[in-house]
Structure 1
Amino acid sequence: MSLGRLSIAAAVLLLAGCVAGPDYRKPEVEVPVSWQLEQPWRQAAPSDAEPKGPWWLRFGDPQLDALQQKALANSPTLDLASARLAQARATLAGSEAGRYPQVGLGTRASRFKISANRPLTNYATNNFSTVQNDFALTLIASYELDLAGRVQRSVEGATASAAQSAADLENTRLLLTADLATAYFSLRATDLELDVVARSIEVQRRALQFVTDRHEGGAVSGLDVAQQQALLDNTLTQVDLLKRLRSQFEHAIATLTGTPAPNFSLAPDIRPLSPPPIPLGVPSDALERRPDVAAAERAMAAANAQIGVATAAFYPSVSLLPTGGVDSRSLSTLFDAQSVLWSIGVSATQTLFDGGRIRANVDFTRAGYEATVASYRRVVLTAMQEAEDGITGLAALERAAAQSQTAVASARRVLEMSASRYEGGATTFLDVITAQQALLNIERQSAQLSGQRMLGSVFLVKALGGDWCGVEPRGGAGNEDARTGCPAPLRQVAGTR
């Protein structure tokens, strides 16, 4: 008997030291040492441990700041992500409860009659019919011994899933604010284009009046008037197309801020657009800053834990089932010592044959884990691509914008020279029309490049996973941006000229 008890105890201790399934280890991914930087970028070294601030404040646009706050407060998409995070945390709390015993209280009160004709248990004793009461109060407990680590792996999986939901919420917030900024700056760029077209229309109308007067005076033919009128009509057509595009951006902003589109409007704003410097860091920073990368990594941890949960089914399930209470036929004696009852026992189950169901579940969870590994690597590669695209794209856009300003100045000189030559009779009016159209196209292109630079900055912020905040400038403290609480951008970021 002693040898048997020792064997059972040894088996229990052996099983208690085992946790089913592999321990989670984050897979290695190839990360470049640095970005391929082009002028005017320069490398910075922000701290990964610092919090990410409201990145849109760097653009210095109070109207955008107000819209972002409204979106964060009213977005149903953000509310949905927050509710999913609450669900994940509740699931984690439920999984952690498996580490503790379950205790319940049961009570019974009844009055019953026993049949006198019931089957005999002793032929020497006759049965009698009795009517009596039965009062009972019982405390019931159960506790699963986590011998194979099923509960532990369940908690690990729920913890990782909750962290994944938190990262998903951060990613939703980042995408929401980036989408709003994209729609806002697209609208602002459209306002600039509309302003360019409006100024061109004014110039073209003056030119039409001028050539009409000359035609009425017999100095030019009606062809010059017709050509100028055709140019003006074409330009007027562009106004309606741009207004339609602007209304679409306005409606998108309304939806992102949780406002019905018919109740929302933004006044035109033709202030110049200038993107702020954006913090770069090194490529490995993006893996720590981007919430979608964090979510993919936590998904791997959760999937790995599920392997342990499935593997634990190979081992016996053992539960302790103690009970205690009182039972009496009279309430007056319910709590007497003679009314006490108790029991203690162990329940154990072990699957002997299931046709391969458990093995199939383990294989399924392993395949699920491999899928999350592949997804993680894909997200990392996408993060590297988007960040590099944003860096090189902004550099190219800045050079194009600078060249565009030169082209605008050149086109204005060409228009002035063409108008002077036409007034002097040295050229036809077609040269003036051509110069007007060229100036309009170049000025519109310049306005579009301004918008593209702003959108490129937003895209890069999103690609890098947000903004750095609280990083001390390289030259020391005392040089902070009063609006954001962040260091002065030109001192601590890889930025534009």
Structure 2
Amino acid sequence: MLLIAGVMATGASPVLGQHSSSEDSASALIDQSTLPAAPELKGGRPRIKDGAVAPAATELPPPLLPLTAPPSLALPDQNQQVSIHELRPLTLEDALLLAEVNSPTLKAAASQTEQAKSSLRAAISSWYPKIDLSASGLPEYFKSYSFQNPDFVPDRVVQKNTGAINPLTGAPEIRNETRDGYNERYGREWRVNASLQVSWDIINPRRVPEIAAARDQYEQARDSYAIALRDLRLNTSTDYFNLQEADEGVRIGQASVRASLVSLRDARARFNAGVNTKLEVLEAETQLARDRNILTSKLGDQDTSRRLLASKLDLPQDITPTAATPARPLGSWQPSLQESIVAAFNFREELDSLLLKISINNSEANASLAAVQPVLSFVNTSSTSRREGQSGITSLGDIDMDDYVWSVQNSTSLRATWRLFDGGRARAEYRRFKQAAEESAYRFARARDSIRLEVEQSFFGLRTAVQNIQTTGSEVLSARESLRLSQLRVQAGVSTQREVVNNQRDLTNAELRYAGAIRDYNTSLAQLRRRTGLDALVSCSNPVLPSVKSVDNEPSIPIEPTPLKSVCPAMEISTAPIDTPDTTRSLW
């Protein structure tokens, strides 16, 4: 087993307690009313800065191409399609890369951002005129027949030639005769009508607040994407650390089972030789059963951790990931607690999103008042029509289809609409959105407190993990040496198997606690990086320490605010100030 960083460190940059920093300051409590307002620091409508978030990877390198996610709508329907055909070792960097490329959650967040961008473009379109083209019939064939009550049809006068010649003029004589009027009419026409209308709102009180709200919603979607990306990286790292701990647990369980088998073999040999009792054999068998139970449990944890990571990475259905690297501390956290909190306040998009929510509610409130405000529009309408044929003809055969009528009209106007009374609806909607903005301000205060608490919890967890790595590392070395000595004592006949069993159990538990401390440290470190946006890490070396416990020159377990040792070895050389040897930088 490799005891990494912290057990044998002789120098370190100390981690000071929170109370020590407060004791150094003699100033009175800060008047909370003098704290700067968030809109003054971030702006009333904050925008995520380009480059503030490392962009997600979009392509996989050739070695990882076989791990491309299956199609989104793929659904296996056969046993062999979900059978595991490959165990693929992955490093933490490979896991993060696969998560960014494959994750459906991140793809959905990116899609929501594009949707918000399209909504913003739709809102901006209200600044431009609208052009509408309409046509009734392309073309339209019209045929008609009408019949009127003969009693209401006026008589018609018809001129009839009498056959006589007028002696004076020499022209035929004509006389008028009265006949019944036509009460039937026929018509046949081809018609085409088209209209082109251009309208533009010169004054529209709803336009500006709606565009402002859409723009803030787009920025909110970008913040949500950044949050989803960072959470994905944190969750992937956490699952990978859990897998590393599970692998270490399996290794410890296997080593314990092997050691128990050896102890049981020796106990049986001594019992057969008559130098010990049946009780020692039973104790060895009990320890073997206990170690097998631990191994079984850790194997189950390993399988679960592998599939959890596979689900997070959206790997192909027949591939299971494994950890390619053993657990080791990622580095040492340099900023103090106060620096981490302030950085989190400046970094977290959750606060920006709530400020944008306040701005959205204010814009919606202004838009609701536009319902009772005047709207002035410019409208120009051009229309044209053409008809071929005739209508109102007394005989269907007399209709001439060569006859046509063509017309063009154009009208320009200013139109104004103003709802003078709506029963108080607009004012009520205005108050509702203003109250929602006030609610968002309260949520901002709650989010601010939650962010600080998250940073403090991660920081305290990191501090605890630093100490646990050192104490459990020392415990492993001590337990390992105790087991070796107890085995020598049994072989010399001055001790019993019970002592070996107890020391072996202590060693197993110490190694499991050490693996858990490494996991807790890396998890807290990843949480701090996620929650503060800082990446101020000093990488740890990876020394291989001897199994023999060295002389401990360090003082006993310190109590705050006594400086604590760092998880990284020899950190004093790389981080201690040069000018003043006895002055140390506080991680707090």
- Provide Cα deviations, 1:282-315, integer angstroms capped at 9, x if missing partner: 5333233223333333222222211111121221
Q: Residue in 1 aligned with 2:103?
A: 75
- Residue 411, structure 1, aligned to residue 479, structure 2: yes
Question: Are 2:154 and 1:145 aligned?
Answer: no
For residue 460 of structure 1, what is the amino acid of its counterpart? Answer: L
**CA 268–178 in structure 1, closer or farther in 2 if over 3 Å, else same:** closer
Task: Determine if the alignment matches structure 1 residue 97 to structure 2 residue 97.
Answer: no
Among 424, 429, 435, which residue is 2:497 paired with?
429
Higher Cα radius of gyration: 2
2:298 maps to 1:263: no
1:382 is aligned to 2:447: no
Secondary structure of the 1:271 match is coil
Select 1:200's aligned residue among 238, 248, 256: 256
Match for residue 353 of structure 2? 295
What secondary structure, in the 3-state scheme, does the structure 2 residue paired with 1:212 have?
helix
Letter in 2 for 1:191: D
Matched, 1:284 2:284: no
Residue of structure 2 aligned with 1:244, choices 297, 300, 305: 300
**Whole-angstrom CA distance in 1 between matches of 2:465 and 2:524:** 8
1:88-122: CA deviation from partner (whole Å, max 9, x where unpaired): 1111111000111101223344454688789xxxx
Hey, what does 1:210 align to over in structure 2?
A: 266
Q: Which of 191, 203, 227 matches 1:171?
A: 227
* Further displaced range: 265-274 or 177-186: 265-274
- The equivalent residue for 1:87 is 115
Answering whether residue 217 of structure 2 is matched by residue 161 of structure 1, we say yes
SS at match of 1:341: strand
Give the secondary structure class of the aligned counterpart of 2:209.
Answer: helix
- CA RMSD for the aligned pairs? 3.7
2:252 and 2:502 map into 1 onto residues whose CA distance is 17
Q: Partners in 2 of 1:339 and 1:212 — Cα distance? A: 116
| TM superposition shift of 1:364 | 2.0
Indicate which of 66, 72, 94 corresponds to 1:66. 94
TM-score with structure 2 setting the length: 0.64
- Distance in 2, Cα, partners of 1:198 & 1:54: 42
**Superposition pairs for residues 230-379 of structure 1, below 5 Å?**
230-259=286-315, 263-267=318-322, 269=324, 271-278=326-333, 280=335, 282-329=340-387, 339-379=407-447
Superposed CA deviations along residues 376-402 of structure 1, whole A, max 9, x for unmatched, are: 222222222111222232122112201
Q: Structure 1's 83 and 294: CA in aligned 2 closer, same or farther, altered over 3 A? A: same
- Shift of the 66–224 alpha-carbon distance from structure 1 to 2, 3 Å rule, reads same
In the TM superposition, what whole-angstrom CA distance separates every residue of 1:410-450 from its partner, at most 9, and x where no partner exists? 22222233233333333332222211111111111111111
Which digits, 9 at most, give the CA deviation of each residue in 1:130-156, with x for residues without a partner? Answer: 6555444432012223343x1110000
CA contact (8 A) 2:372 2:420 kept: no
Q: Is the 2:90–2:324 Cα contact (8 Å) retained in structure 1?
A: no
Distance in 1 between residues matched to 2:354 and 2:198, nearest whole Å: 40
Deviation at 1:466? 6.7
Moved more, 267-276 or 217-226: 267-276
| Amino acid paired to 1:351 | R
Tell which deviates more after alignment, 302-311 or 371-380.
371-380
Looking at secondary structure, tell me which structure has more strand per residue: 2
Residue 199 of structure 1: CA displacement?
1.6
Q: For each residue in 1:17-61, what CA deviation from the matched residue of structure 2 results, as whole angstroms up to 9, or x when unmatched? A: xxxxxxxxxx92599xxxxxxxxxxxxxxxx986444799xxxx9
SS in 1 for 2:328: coil
Flag the structure with higher helix content: 1
Q: Is the 8 Å Cα contact of residues 196 and 383 (structure 2) preserved in structure 1?
A: yes
Deviation at 1:250, TM superposition (A): 1.0
Q: Which has the larger displacement, 92-101 or 196-205?
A: 196-205
Q: Distance in 2 between matches of 1:411 and 1:287?
A: 45
**Residues in 2 aligned to 1:130 and 1:228: alpha-carbon distance in whole angstroms:** 113
Q: What amino acid maps onto 1:140 in structure 2?
A: Q
1:186 pairs with 2:195? no
**Following the alignment from structure 2 to structure 1, what is the Cα–Cα distance between the partners of residues 228 and 431?**
32
- TM, length-normalised to structure 1: 0.75
1:28 to 15, 25, 37: 37
Instruction: Please tell me the residue identity of whatever aligns with 1:250.
Output: R
Contact 2:237–2:526 (Cα < 8 Å) also in 1: yes
SS of the aligned residue for 1:442 comes to: helix
Residues 70 and 343 (structure 1 numbering): CA distance in 2 closer, same or farther, change over 3 Å? Answer: same
Unpaired segments of 5 or more residues in structure 2? Answer: 1-35, 41-48, 58-88, 149-153, 155-180, 390-404, 538-573, 577-584
Residue pairs, 1:119-130, within 5 angstroms:
none
The residue number in structure 1 matching 2:164 is none
Identity of aligned residues (%): 20
The residue type equivalent to 1:394 in the other structure is L
Over 3 Å counting, the alpha-carbon distance change for 1:130 and 1:460 in structure 2 is same
| 1:67 to 1:85, Cα distance in 2 relative to 1, 3 A | same
Decide whether aligned partners of structure 1 residues 114 and 203 sit closer, same or farther in structure 2, where only a CA change above 3 A counts: closer
Q: Offset of 1:329 from its aligned partner? A: 3.9
Separation in 2, partners of 1:180, 1:200: 30
SS in structure 1 of the partner of residue 199 of structure 2: strand
Distance 1:252 1:168 in 2: 24
Q: Which runs of 5+ in 1 are unaligned?
A: 1-26, 32-47, 470-488
SS at match of 1:352: coil
How far the C-alpha of 1:274 sits from its partner, in A, is 1.5
Deviates more, 1:319-328 or 1:210-219: 319-328
Taking a change above 3 Å as real, the CA distance of residues 155 and 107 of structure 1, as seen in their structure-2 partners, is same
Q: Secondary structure at the match of 1:103?
A: strand
How big is the shift at 1:214?
0.8
How far apart, in 2, do the equivalents of 1:282 and 1:73 lie? Answer: 30
The AA in structure 1 aligned to 2:105 is: T
